[in-house]
Amino acid sequence: MNDNLDPERFATHRATLSTGATLAYLREGIGGVPLLLVHGWPETRRIWWRNVEPLVAAGFEVIAPDLRGFGDSDVAPDGFYDVAAFSIDMYALAHEELGHDQCFAAAGDAGGPIVYDLSLRYPGFVPKLCYFNTLNPVLRNGEYEAAGIPPDGDRAVRATADYFIRQATDADALAAELDTPTRRRAYIAGMYGHRLWGAPTAFTPDVVDFMTEPFADPVKLRASFGIYESSTGGRPMKDMPRFLETNPVPTLVLYGPEDQVVPTSFPARCAVAFDECIGPFVVTGAGHFLQWEAADVFNRALTHFFL
């Protein structure tokens, strides 16, 4: 595995979109099959550093942006950091800016709802998805109950939920407490370490430093809390997310079980939420950051599913 942690390993492109957002993104393998990789929180496009080169070698054109307010992208000029705003940005980048009529997509964590919305908001644009270690859609017609899936009780209510609650309801005070680059990075580092989102040995100190560096910026860290605020009504949304209905797009579902933040019911719920669910497949030894923790498996799975 090539762990070249140089932030400039891949050329950074920038685009100001029709949405008004200015995004930084990498684009490698131009001319290949378009594949959009959407990061979550607390991530930037750096989370895909183990995936870009193998996927390009397999025949993909890999597009991996920093979401608005993250990494090298600018903060949102309109103040929106909700699922729909991110999704509309992704379409504006991949279709309007880069000219793709269709684009495969893969995402975990907060990126999951974004690509779920993208695939429904723009019918036909995303012919297939890969969905892993993220939120399950909030289905309102009793589909989960009808499938015999009980309410989440193992990891849905957990001691580590404090990060979600504070970012969603007390973001300004939390940001004020994280008043130095060291404190900001240490806070983010917890998600890669003691909070056990990933497998215990998944991230070396050098890798944690690499992943947390973009969050040393107080403006970017504060902006990154916006998606949590919008999820609880604490910040206005650009539009309602398409996350309350089942999805007809063929979807490869992967699950890293060493994840203490996503409920263990995730695979079973995905089997209900996706009308054409491939899997779910459990990736033994991987956790929340599956694309990094089990990069070889992830890269092969995408190659065989999308190509």
pLDDT band with cut points at 50, 70 and 90 for residue 160: low
| Domain assignments of the chain as residue spans, ordered by start | 13-154+240-306
What's the pLDDT tens digit per position in 133-152? 999 999 989 999 999 998 87
| 13-154+240-306: CATH superfamily | Alpha/Beta hydrolase fold, catalytic domain (3.40.50.1820)
Q: Is the per-residue pLDDT at 291 higher than 60? A: yes
The upper half-sphere exposure of residue 114, i.e. CA atoms within 13 Å in the direction of its Cβ, equals: 28
Kindly tell me if the per-residue pLDDT of 86 is higher than 80: yes
Residues in the chain, how many?
Answer: 307
pTM over 0.85: yes
Residue 272, C-beta contacts closer than 8 angstroms, at least 6 positions apart: 139, 143, 144, 147, 149, 246
DSSP one-letter string for 222-274? HHHTHHHHHHTTSS--SS--S-SS-B-S-EEEEE-SS-SSS-TTHHHHHHHHB
**Calpha distance 158→160 (Å, rounded):** 5
Cα separation of 188 and 256, whole Å?
Answer: 20
Instruction: Check residue 156 and give its pLDDT.
Output: 46
**Residue 116 pLDDT > 80:** yes
Distance CA 81, CA 20 (A): 13
- The predicted pLDDT at position 151 comes to 83
User: Which ranges in the chain belong to alpha helices (H)?
Assistant: 52-58, 83-91, 111-121, 143-146, 162-169, 171-177, 181-192, 205-212, 218-224, 226-231, 266-273, 290-293, 295-306
DSSP three-state, residue 33:
strand
Residue 172 has what pLDDT? 97
